Structure 1
Amino acid sequence: MTNPNNNHETPPGSRPTGPSDTAKSTPPTVEQAWAGPVAGLARLVDGLRRDLDPLTPVPDRVEELAALLAGLAETVASIASRKHAGPAPTWLLAPTDEVETAGLLDGLAGWMAVVYLRYPDAATGLPDCWCWHPDVVEELVWLMHAWSAAYQGPAASVALAGDWHDRQRPGVVRRIRQSAGSCSRENHQTRPGRPPLPTGAPTVAAVAELSVIAGWWGVGRDQAAPEPANPDVTDGDRS
């Protein structure tokens, strides 16, 4: 008997469908089963990477600070040891002994050949009459001994060598160029119509009036200073 509520007839040889057929699904593959956990693990790793990224420069920064600390320690040690350095000899107050002055000049010339003149700015700024200029010799003598203290002395250090290169050597080169860089041997030779260069001991001006200045500064410095005497007045007239 045909069900009057069923408008469709089941074709012969076919199986009628039911609720159990619609609920049935294809089982997931292995890749699909692991997709969720793997994605979660990837998110976890990415989060850890973001947390650790700010810490990446830390080892380099630690090494930088360690190097800075070592440099500061060396600088402090070199400064503390300077008080034990010996005094530098002086050309201006060298003993009045030809043997000693000759030895000082010979040693200086040897050092200049192997060290000082290796620097192009020093070589171009040194006149060929350098040894006729006591101030130039004085500069070179102390610079030579500063180099020796930085490289060979008991307190030799990288810090002292750096100071020699950065400050001491350039300063001497600059002063020599300013005071005698344009001079030459010919300037020290007597020529007709040209006054000779002053090479003797310098004269200190106003020596005769030093006692006047000493008295004013000693007891009356709050008052006006005494006026200088007329330069045409001799010491005998002044007294």
Structure 2
Amino acid sequence: MQYDNDKDPGTAALAAVAGLARSVEALTRDVAAMKAGLKQTASKTAVARLNDTVASLGNTIASFEDLLTRLAAAKPSSSRGKAADASSVEPVRSWLRLPEDSAAVEAVLSELLPWMETTYLRYATARETLPPCWLWHPEIVEELLWLMDAWIAAYDSDEASNKLVGDWHDRQRPGVTRRIGEYAPACDVLAHRDPAGQRAITVPLAADADPFVTWWARSRDDNGPAPTPEQIKAGRRGGLTALPTTTAGGQR
């Protein structure tokens, strides 16, 4: 019996056990028949057949023992291989999830900036849509980082292929270029005069979520809680210095 390393070891072991069972069953029948026949006469042909069967069973047992030895030797190496594969897989990089560490940020930009000059900005649409204030926009840096990594995978990785290159040109780069143009239309460096050190992102009405928990958990078929004047002011884009007046008929 040949052992195929490409087969699942468990499947191979089951096949060997099944073969051994069939051999034992055949031997049992032959021995029973021989006993019945030998009561009449000890046929040389019958004795030779019995010897062949026993020899075949011995070969099957030897093959099965060899298989078990291979399986025992393969398990540790297989587990080590899986652990090595898992540890060698690098996570997908994200600017938004980058560690708060100057060295990590500098390492990313030291790759991204030269790649933008030599590759991304070679395309006219990229130059047209990239705002000069792109470094103020984390969402734009995020898009450029994954696009660069996709370019490296298409051209310089072990899995590099014309298919990946075509996908980068046909789908990935145009998609990123279009979204960057949507993120910051007509934005410029002068527009970024927000006070430094303040939180850039806040979730509107996050502190007032409790009434919405009760509503959605207990009575979602009804209308939600009525907004308070404070919520109206906080929830409007840019806020309000005064609440809108309500005229007759409820129009504002």
State the TM bucket, normalised to the shorter chain.
0.5 to 0.7
Please give the residue correspondences for 1:127-142 in structure 2 after superposition, counting only pairs within 5 Å: 127-142=131-146
Establish whether residue 105 from structure 1 lines up as the match of residue 109 from structure 2: yes
The residue that corresponds to 2:126 in the other structure is 122
Task: Tell me what 1:168 maps to.
Answer: 172
Note if contact 1:121-1:173 (Cα within 8 Å) is conserved in structure 2. Answer: yes
Q: How does 1:184-195 map to 2 (within 5 A)?
A: 184-188=188-192
Secondary structure of the residue that 2:230 maps to in structure 1? Answer: coil
2:110 and 2:134 map into 1 onto residues whose CA distance is 14
Change (3 A) 1:232 1:121: closer
Alpha-carbon distance between aligned partners in 2 of 1:159 and 1:132, rounded to the nearest angstrom: 34
Q: Which residue of 2 aligns with 1:221?
A: 220
Deviation at 1:90, TM superposition (A): 1.4
Which residue in 1 is equivalent to 2:92? 88
Cα distance in 1 between the residues matched to 2:188 and 2:224: 43
- 1:47 is aligned to none
Q: Per-residue deviation at 1:198? A: 11
Matched, 1:182 2:186: yes
Aligned counterparts of 2:184 and 2:197: Cα–Cα separation in 1: 13
C-alpha spacing 1:135/1:209, structure 2 compared with 1 (3 Å): same
How many residues align? The count is: 146
Using the TM superposition, give the Cα deviation of residue 201 of structure 1 relative to its aligned residue in structure 2, in angstroms: 2.2
2:9 matched residue in structure 1 = none
User: How far apart, in 2, do the equivalents of 1:90 and 1:233 lie?
Assistant: 35
Matches within 5 A, 1:195-234: 200-231=199-230
SS at match of 1:208: helix
Residue number in structure 2 paired with 1:9: none
Q: Distance in 2 between matches of 1:233 and 1:125?
A: 35
What is the CA-CA distance between 1:233 and the residue it aligns to? Answer: 8.8
Q: Any unmatched runs of 5+ in structure 2?
A: 1-88, 234-252
User: Closer, same or farther in 2 for the Cα pair 1:161/1:104, shift >3 Å?
Assistant: same
Partner in structure 2 of residue 27 of structure 1: none
How far residue 157 of structure 1 moved from its aligned partner, in angstroms, is 2.7
Change (3 A) 1:139 1:92: same
The residue identity in structure 1 corresponding to 2:190 is E
Identity percentage of aligned residues: 44
Secondary structure, counterpart of 2:107 in structure 1: helix
Paired residue type of 1:146: A
8 Å CA contact retained: 1:117, 1:123: yes
Residues 182, 197 of structure 1: alpha-carbon distance in 2 compared, 3 angstrom cutoff: farther
Question: 1:89, CA displacement in angstroms?
Answer: 1.3
- Structure 2 vs 1, CA of residues 203 and 142 (structure 1 numbering), >3 Å: closer, same or farther? same
Matches of 1:139 and 1:117, distance apart in 2: 14
Structure 1, unpaired ranges of 5+: 1-84, 235-239
SS of residue matched to 2:200: coil
Aligned AA for 2:156? Q
- Return the offset for 1:164: 1.6
State the structure with more CA Rg. Answer: 1
- TM-score w.r.t. the length of structure 2 is 0.50
What are the equivalent positions in structure 2 for 1:60-71 lying under 5 Å apart? Answer: none
* Structure 1 CA distance for aligned equivalents of residues 226 and 155 of structure 2: 53
Specify whether residues 154 and 223 from structure 1 end up closer, same or farther in structure 2 by C-alpha distance, changes over 3 A only.
farther
* Structure 1 runs of 4+ with >6 Å offset: 195-199
Calculate the aligned-residue CA RMSD, in Å: 3.0
Question: 1:150 maps to which residue?
Answer: 154
CA contact (8 A) 2:205 2:231 kept: no
